[in-house]
Amino acid sequence: MKVVLKSGTQNASIKNHLLSFKCTVVQEFAQVMFLSRELSDSEQAILLEQFKTIKCFTDSKWPLVATAEPCPLFTNGFAAIAGPCSVESEQQINLVAKTLSELGVKFIRGGAFKPRTSPYAFQGLGLKGYEMLANAARQHDLISVSEVMSVEQIELASKYIDILQVGARNMQNYPLLTALGKLNKPIILKRSAAATYSEFLNAAEYILLGGNSQVILCERGIKSFEPMTRNTLDISLVPVLQQLTNLPIIIDPSHAVGLRSMVPALTRAAVAVGANGVMLEAHPQPELSVSDAEQALSLVELNSLLKQIANLCKTINCFENT
Ligand code: PEP
Ligand code: MN
């Protein structure tokens, strides 16, 4: 049996309480405790009554990813990460950074090492891309997000980038996940287009196991039988995974739907479903984007969407208070 503790929970008092049930903690992993035996229903009820911030699970097929301290950047309000699919030039990324800071967005994204389906497609500016993104972020006091595709790129990425992203295609690159577990930086882990919740959480667990608790889960659409959109946004992931983990969960509507006109609707859904944030692709001249042009928002569209997010957040808080 496993007991998942939410952050701030006092482990010691729970352990003492478990002793009174003649049950011991056999192993601890981050904020998950593995107990020596199953608790009866009444024991579980007593424990849950006493400690409102814990959850008990007996179904071992679920990995229970929890962490003592979920990344504070994503647990305080609704976070918006925005920026181009790829860093293309200094001029492009600087203009995006300037606009984001004017709009009050804290996080800027931009790919430098790009995982492209075709080997003939633009592969990203590499190191130069990291440098340009880092400079733009520094000048405008933004937090940078960029992808790292291999173990060899980690050292370089961590020199320049604040939050490292593991792309959907690398969600099960276990050496990469293990190496990122040793880093003291937040990691955005994107769900593979074909991963179950259990596989996704297990991938996160690889990072947590190394001691890095700053994992942010990102749903970016899964493969379905529907050809009209790039992927299918699995909005159910948010409430389901909130039952199983206290890691922050963000949604990437851009890669999910693949069409800019539908990104706002899915972004509103992300706010309403209780996600911790969104990642949006935006470009000064979307139609000229070197990658993912169809899904990029213009900076004007981004501005309007951010206002909608702010209004929705207010409305939802308002409902919570009634
Ligand atoms: C990206 O965010 O740049 C990206 C490549 O997304 P994904 O890994 O979800 O396809
Ligand atoms: Mn993209």
Q: Distance between CA atoms of 231 and 241, rounded to whole angstroms? A: 20
DSSP of 166-190: E-GGGTT-HHHHHHHTT-SS-EEEE
Alpha-carbon distance of 65 to 126, in angstroms, equals 32
Candidate from 251, 255, 280, 294 with most ligand 1 atoms within 8 A of CB, to mutate? 255
For ligand 1, whether the C-beta of 55 sits within 6 Å is: no
Per-residue pLDDT in tens (0 to 9) along the chain, 322 residues: 888 887 666 788 899 999 999 999 987 776 778 899 989 999 999 998 988 878 887 766 666 676 767 899 998 899 999 999 999 999 999 999 999 999 999 999 999 999 999 999 999 999 999 999 999 999 999 999 999 999 999 999 999 999 999 999 999 999 999 999 999 999 999 999 999 998 999 999 899 888 898 999 999 999 999 999 999 999 999 999 987 888 999 999 999 999 999 999 999 999 999 999 999 999 999 999 999 999 999 999 999 999 999 999 999 877 765 5
Kindly report the pTM of this predicted structure.
0.87
Does residue 15 contact residue 31 with C-beta atoms inside 8 Å? no
Over the stretch 175-217, which tens digit does the pLDDT of each residue have? 999 999 999 999 999 999 999 998 999 999 899 888 898 999 9
- In the chain, what percentage of residues exceed pLDDT 90? 77
Q: Is 129 in the pocket of ligand 1 (CB under 6 A)?
A: no
Residue with CA nearest ligand 1 atom 3: 85
Is residue 98 within 8 Å of residue 140, measured between CB atoms?
yes
Residues near 258 by Cβ (< 8 Å), separated by ≥ 6?
221, 229, 230, 231, 292, 294, 295
C-alpha–C-alpha distance, residues 2 and 238, integer Å: 21
Is the separation of the CB atoms in 24 and 36 below 8 Å? yes
Atom 10 (ligand 1) nearest CA = 168
- Mean per-residue pLDDT over the chain, rounded: 93
